[in-house]
Structure 1
Amino acid sequence: MFKLNSFGKAAAIFTSLSMAVSLAGCSSSNSNDDGTKQENSETRIVETDKGEVEIPANPQRIVSDYYLGEFLAVDTKPIIASPYALDNPYLAEYIGGIEPMNITSAETSQEMIAAAEPDLIVTITEADYEKFSKIASTVYIQDGKRSDEELFKYIADLVGKESEAENYISEFNQKVEESKGKVHDIVGDQTVSIVEVWPQQIYSMGSHFARGGHILYDLWGLKAPEAVQKSMVDGDTPYEVISLEALPEYTGDFILYGILSDTDASFVEDSQIWNILPAVKEGKAMPYEQVAWMHRDPITQSKQLEELTAYFEQFGE
């Protein structure tokens, strides 16, 4: 199953995905993809993080300022999406025809969205909720309130594709189980760590901040170095900024290693401390593409599972 969403704060468990559904005929005028109008569309009431909201029963023109892979995983394509989500290489084959949101300013985003005449807006940004609500039915999803699996089901329900989400999750979990034994046979009691380099900063991450951590520690049950395990796997800390000198304490027998785009990582890679780490000396440092691994939607996690499995398998007999 997918991991608890936690970006910079402890995630609260959202234990109910009950959607209060009330079908009712109402007169509305929304644009289809071909520019024609659909009249008298049905609507329903859904429970959101801003209370009950009336949305189309079958939304056709969706805008999302953050969530994208969740929609694409159930074969639903928004008309406008966050440029950050669109930059995710794992989603590249699915995003044809989606317009990147103009994020030059709040005003340009709002103008672009209004001009597109959406019938549903899904936002992670509470500050934009009232403005978006004046344009179309808007669902605000609070960051950190749901696990990734719960979030996926919630979004799938908004477009009437709960069963598709359940099938996707079931297939993912089956792949996890198929790979778990093989990976454990290879890794054994060795530790696995995640390190990411930003300009003059080094981040250590556990299971709460994407980068494959949920798969490594929660689903496969691999162990992190003690300093990481205690606070960032067993605890709720999403990440820690560490010094170069602290790398030996926060890195394990295997290292997943990412670099923020356009970052000069030489202060790490050229250092003696980095180059004498056992994982680096033994070729057990796996580089990952930060722009892709920072996401944790269903498609991204499925791709990460494949790459992580292939990575560890190369160390098998």
Structure 2
Amino acid sequence: MTTRRPSALPPSRSRRRLLAALALSAAAVLGASSCSASGEGAQGGGGSAGKGAATRTVTDIAGKVEVPAEPKRIVSVDFYSPATLVDLGVKPVGVVEGFDSDDPDLRPKRYHDALKDTATIGTYYELNIEAVAQQNPDLIFAETRFLRKGELKRLQGIAPVVQLDAAGVGAWKDRTLMIGAAVGKSAEIEKQAAVFEKRADELKKKYADVLEKNRIAVFAYGQDHSTWGTYPAGHFYVPVWDAVGATFRPFTEGEHKGVEGSVSEWLSLEQIGKLDNADILLYAYGAGDFVDKTLARNTVWKNLPAVKNGMVFRNIPASVVSSFEWGTESLDALDGVLAEISEKAKA
């Protein structure tokens, strides 16, 4: 098969970023966390904490925010924080819709089991603010880029809001550390981070030859199987591939939306030839029929270098990693996929 060694970010960059984030999260709790008996200065005056409750100051993507020293009623209006909270032994009282689904491609089953009966407060892109208020939260987690106009201010009127972000390579790690700091469990989350990093390093070394010499494309289909798109480095669908140092094929003309870490434009099947710059093709866990039935009839697809070389593989399930423990489980699954790829590359 054709091999390339494209330029990539220095492998130490992700580790430096994580170490810096670890230090930041520790400082947020141990250094910058000032406990007081006053709720003055908190973002929101609502919630079950009430006046006179002890608070701590933590840092989120917007700056400093005062949160309860020991939050008791947490509402997650984002997709990610519930899994981290479960891993830390904290059960939120409100989550976005979807946790009642046991689809293995959405999340590991244990998160479904832990949260399937939790009250829902709408979707992460269309909240029910009244449902949030009904849970009487003392702390809210939100990925603010998905909030509609005016919703952040309304949420802050209910309880302190810790604002999160998930865009960019390694951003999910920073977010997870931030969640741990906000609930006063930095030590626990840092231990989970260390386990994840150790496992990622193991796979990076074990499959260095495959990872360094090949460009990958992780792709999925759009509506009615009539379009397709790929996920670049930094997208929330590919964090474990980022963690092991995979090199992604570059977008070709007309694919990039101009937003870092954003999925490509959804393209017609006639443009599937754009994937000819990938050595390894990985289709979404649930896209088997799309590959076996729709693409199998496409002549351009059948003539792609990766297809002709037999380098087409199914991606891991539940790839939208939302916590370090979830990530470690995903790395174990990735070990199996990389073993298949390595074996095929040697054939």
The one of 217, 237, 241 aligned to 1:211: 237
Distance 1:48 1:190 in 2: 36
SS in 2 for 1:121: strand
Q: Structure 1 unaligned segments of length 5 or more: list them.
A: 5-12, 32-36
Q: Which amino acid is 2:71 matched to?
A: P
The one of 307, 311, 316 aligned to 2:333: 307
* Cα offsets for 1:256-307 (capped at 9, x unmatched): 112778x9675534312223334334543222377x3244543443233222
Distance 2:315 2:89 in 1: 27
Does 1:117 find its partner at 2:129?
A: no
**Alpha carbons 1:86, 1:92 under 8 Å: kept:** no
Distance 1:156 1:106 in 2: 23
Partner of 2:301: 274
The one of 177, 189, 198 aligned to 1:153: 177
Alpha-carbon shift at residue 223 of structure 1 (Å):
3.2
Q: Which amino acid is 2:139 matched to?
A: L
* Cα offsets for 1:76-130 (capped at 9, x unmatched): 2212112246656434313424525242899982222222222111112354222
Partner of 1:169: 193
* Cα offsets for 1:126-163 (capped at 9, x unmatched): 54222222222222335548822221111100011111
**Alpha carbons 2:47, 2:139 under 8 Å: kept:** no
Q: Which amino acid is 1:277 matched to?
A: L
* Cα offsets for 1:45-79 (capped at 9, x unmatched): 33445554332101111101113223233332212
Q: Which amino acid is 1:46 matched to?
A: V
**CA separation of 1:64 and 1:42: change in aligned 2, threshold 3 A:** same
The one of 284, 304, 314 aligned to 1:287: 314
SS in 1 for 2:235: coil
Does 1:44 find its partner at 2:61?
A: no
Mean Cα deviation higher: 63-72 or 22-31: 22-31
What is the aligned residue count?
296
SS in 2 for 1:176: helix
* Cα offsets for 1:228-260 (capped at 9, x unmatched): 7xx98xx94533224434434425232111277
Q: Which amino acid is 1:44 matched to?
A: R
* Cα offsets for 1:207-240 (capped at 9, x unmatched): 121332x433x44333333547xx98xx945332
**Alpha carbons 1:90, 1:299 under 8 Å: kept:** no
SS in 1 for 2:72: coil
Partner of 2:83: 69
Partner of 1:90: 107
Does 1:256 find its partner at 2:282?
A: yes
Alpha-carbon shift at residue 185 of structure 1 (Å):
3.8
**Alpha carbons 1:204, 1:250 under 8 Å: kept:** no
Identity, in percent, stands at 20
* Cα offsets for 1:172-198 (capped at 9, x unmatched): 111111112221245562332211111
Using structure 1 for the length normalisation, give the TM-score. 0.75
RMSD: 4.0
**Alpha carbons 2:35, 2:69 under 8 Å: kept:** yes
SS in 2 for 1:302: helix
Q: Which amino acid is 2:233 matched to?
A: S
**Alpha carbons 2:59, 2:65 under 8 Å: kept:** yes
Does 1:59 find its partner at 2:82?
A: no
Q: Structure 2 unaligned segments of length 5 or more: list them.
A: 1-13, 40-44
